[in-house]
Chains A and B, each alone.
Chain A
Amino acid sequence: MLEPNKASRLPTTGIRRDRRKFYLILGVLVLLLPILFIYCLCVGKYPVTPGESLRILYGVATGATRDWTPLTESVVVGLRLPRILASMMVGGSLAISGATYQGIFKNPLVSPDFLGVSAGASIGAASAILLSLSATYIQLFAFCGGLVAVIATVTIPRLMRSESHIMLVLSGIIVGGLMSSIMGYIRYVADPTSQLAAITYWTMGSFSYIRMEAMLPILPVILIPLLLLLRLSWWIDILSLGEQEAKSLGANVQGTRYLAVACATLLTASSVCISGTIGWVGLVIPHFGRMLVGPSNPRLLPIAFLIGAIFLLVVDTVTRTITTAEMPISILTGLIGAPFYALLLYRQRKRLQ
């Protein structure tokens, strides 16, 4: 009789344990998100009980009779709900696009900011503010600015006939430097009494001025790339091996890379449209995700989305509750993100060498 070989059984149990661990983490995050969602609806200068906020949400959705004050409804549905949805969408989008850039450029140290997307988008927004245009135009300008920056960043290496990743990163630095000078000029000529504060808010990120109507048109521009990236995730793993290896495995390197970069860029630009530039999320959250579920993108991308969403939701709720005068959100993401990133690098120092 054949005894089942112990050595051959080992990986299978290990694989099963590994998979269980992933689904456990996924499950915990999936549960945590709605709990935090309800909690954040309730806290603030005008506290509401969880039961009441749930009843209001249900009531507004189904059109049931209102037994609450209009003030409560406007706080929960008019102010907090769009803000909470926006912070979750932006956090998740930035995290997924960061993970994608890191995979595609096979460099765990790049972030959505490095292609100049965020800088370009904030210049677009700032120009619109400078021209005293309406909120819709501010978003449109932000979007175009982001796209122009990416196109510039991607074109420079092509002009130099180089396809190397280093050249792309350098090109990002060139475009980023140019953008920050332009931004400096805009700040310099902006009217300090009326425009400068708005511009600052845009470059430091904020969810204070979110309106549901402004968010809805951006939603498909976020959802479609998000779903595409989740479907592409395994091929991002293949591309992260480098161009030659990916090609020898039969990958359509150029096509896949462009598609993934386009999706990630759309996500970043849309995020900037909603909330202005928010630093660190796209860099730190993917690292944190890799620590939890490993580097494989089919697992990493959904986890990064959830962690990013939870992170910005919590940080935004803190910024609106901690002080009476609300501060820009990038102050907190930087204060948390930078030391956390240092900690992650310390823990991964062996692997990065």
Chain B
Amino acid sequence: MIYEVQDLTFSYVGSSRLILAGVFLTLQEGEILSILGPNGAGKSTLLNCMAALLKPSSGKILLAGRALATLSPREVSRIIAYVPQAHTPAFDYTVLHFTMMGRAPNIGLFAQPTAEDEEAALEVLRQLAIEHLALRSYTEISGGERQQAMIARALTQKPRALLFDEPTAHLDYGNQHRVLRMIHSLAEQGYGVVITTHNPDHALLLGGKAAILSAQGTLESGRCEEIITEERLKSVYQTSLRLLYIEELARVACLPLSLVETL
């Protein structure tokens, strides 16, 4: 078991509103968990708590059996890699240099990466088939490539689990699916994966586990097909939609109703 989240609550200092109200979760190696929820429900907050970037108000998170709160950032970074939303950094490091930063958990404060670290980073770029980007500047590649470079850096950390904050946001249609495929294959390779997403269909595509966070901060989690139901989605998103089994795709898809009310 990588993650055990027990009765987690979170509210921002000075605010009485509970963003997370008693959340329970588990995650194992090779398992994908997609967290859904409306805007502002606290999906990223939950992810940040799991990444030890935010301190929960109460409750407990066990990471590989140890209390997350007692681990140092360095110890955490050796077990989990956090993949933030793709962004533009202030400096245009090369993709190789950027990827090599994933070796940070193994590099001392007054030390610098060695040839061995460079080789490890190149190896990951090779695995993800983006080796050709190695010397390109991180700011001049496309959003999709940037997301891949971010994943490369995360894998260079050699974590057991990966946390993705809206990995498909700001990506075009093709890149969204490329990134989802990559995430799916990571789970198959044995990484535990948690993603937040706005698209229920992405959760259905990925399969595995799903969790729906309500605006009240309560969370329901379980197997994807049990959690993602028409009633739940309708009540959480306050919109009309259908879950349909599509024969040609051999899967259930989540589709919105027509914009003009005809039914």
Q: Counting CB contacts under 8 A, is B157 at the interface?
A: yes
By the criterion CB–CB under 8 Å, are B94 and A294 in contact? yes
Q: A10-B131, A10-B132, A11-B96 are in contact. Are A244 and B105 (CB under 8 A)?
A: no
Q: How far is the CB of A206 from chain B (nearest CB, A)?
A: 34
Interface size in chain A (residues, C-beta < 8 A): 39
120-162 of chain B: CB within 8 A of chain A: 122, 125-126, 131-132, 134-135, 139-140, 157
Q: Which of B53, B75, B93, B118 contacts A248 (CB 8 A)?
A: B53
Contact A250 B105 (CB under 8 A): yes
**A214 in the interface (beta carbon within 8 A):** no
Tell me the chain A residues, 6-25 only, with Cβ under 8 Å from chain B.
Answer: 7-8, 10-12, 14-15, 18
Judge if A180 is at the interface, Cβ distance under 8 Å.
Answer: no
B172 — which chain A residues lie within 8 A by C-beta?
Answer: none
Q: Is B20 an interface residue (CB 8 A)?
A: no
State the total of A-B contacts with C-beta under 8 angstroms: 106
In the complex, which residue of chain A has the Cβ closest to the Cβ of B133?
A11
A249 in complex: contacting residue of B48, B77, B93, B112, CB < 8 Å: B77
In the complex, what's the smallest C-beta–C-beta distance from B197 to chain A, in angstroms?
A: 19
Is the C-beta of B182 less than 8 angstroms from some C-beta in chain A?
Answer: no
Q: Indicate whether A296 reaches chain B with its CB closer than 8 angstroms.
A: yes
Contacts of A8 in B (CB 8 A): 126, 131
CB-CB under 8 A for A250 and B132, given A108-B91, A240-B91: no
Q: Nearest-CB distance from B83 to chain A (Å)?
A: 9
A235 at the interface (CB under 8 A from B): yes
Q: Which residues of B contact A129 (CB under 8 A)?
A: none
Report the minimal beta-carbon distance from B68 to chain A, rounded to whole angstroms: 13
Interface string of B31-73 (1 = CB under 8 A from A): 0000000000000000010011100000000000000000011
Contact A14-B109, Cβ < 8 Å, known A247-B73, A250-B104, A351-B92: no
Q: Report the count of interface residues on B (CB-CB < 8 A).
A: 43
Q: Could you tell me if B112 and A11 are in contact, using CB atoms closer than 8 angstroms? A: no
B109 in contact with A252 (CB, 8 Å): yes
Q: Specify which chain A residues have a CB less than 8 angstroms from the CB of B77 in the assembled complex.
A: 248-250
Contact of B93 among A251, A253, A256, A295 (CB under 8 A): A295
Binds B, one of A145-153, A226-234, A316-324, A338-346: A226-234
Of all chain A residues, the one with the shortest Cβ separation from B118 is A15
Closest chain A CB from B3 CB (angstroms):
16
Instruction: Give the docked Cα–Cα distance between A7 and B132 (Å).
Output: 7
* Residue A238 is within 8 A (CB to CB) of chain B in the complex: yes
Chain B CB within 8 A of A241 CB: yes
User: CB-CB < 8 A to A351: which residues of B?
Assistant: 92, 139-140
List, in ascending order, chain B residues with CB within 8 A of A298's CB: 112
Chain A interfacial positions (CB closer than 8 Å to B): 7-8, 10-12, 14-15, 18, 103, 106-108, 228, 231-235, 237-238, 240-242, 244-245, 247-253, 256, 290, 294-296, 298, 351
Other than the given A249-B104, A294-B93, 6 more pairs (CB < 8 A) read: A11-B122, A108-B90, A232-B110, A234-B107, A249-B77, A252-B109
